[in-house]
Amino acid sequence: MIAWPVGLGQNSELTKSCISTVLGPMVVVSDSEYVCFLEFLDGCRMGGKFEKLEKKLNAHIVSGETKPIESIARELELYFDGNLTDFKTPLRPLGSPFQILVWEHLSRVPYAQTRTYKSQAEAIGSPTSYRAVANANGFNQIAIAIPCHRIVNSNGNIGGYGGGVARKRWLIDHENRNA
């Protein structure tokens, strides 16, 4: 379930936790209802992301567990075991209205299928905005559950991925093996 409105409640407390996966550790951040951040923990890439999240939401991040964190951890385990194709943990991505629109359509790309940035731009009704769509995909901060890894270049090349191209290839291959 994805709650598409922009932002969480202001002056809130957010909780972060680390989840072990076969592709390396991931960091998840949630409030009491929604996951708003899920990315691979690559030390140099994390710099400043939590501070920006705290500032954007006027929130304080503490370590711990919440029901959404427990839910996404369970679902990621099932996903990586090849036993889950559709995430149900409540998600609330944080972004501009355009980014939210792109991510909403991105979440509709079926498991084990890929789309191009161009086809994603067409799906949102803006066929010439494929570069802006690619940029919005790059700002997705809820990896795997909002499946930006399923978007590839028009020429068939895999394209970029915030978690690294090797992880993107692994995720695409994993879904194809378990479809």
- pTM comes to 0.91
Q: Is 18 a catalytic residue?
A: no
Of the two residues 171 and 49, the one the predictor is more confident about is 171
Kindly tell me if the per-residue pLDDT of 2 is higher than 80: no
Mean pLDDT throughout 67-95?
Answer: 96
CB distance 36 to 126 below 8 Å = no
Query: For 128-156, what is each residue's pLDDT tens digit?
Result: 999 999 999 999 999 999 999 999 999 98
11: which 2 tokens?
């002056």
Kindly tell me if the per-residue pLDDT of 34 is higher than 90: yes
Rounded distance, CA 151 to CA 118, Å?
9
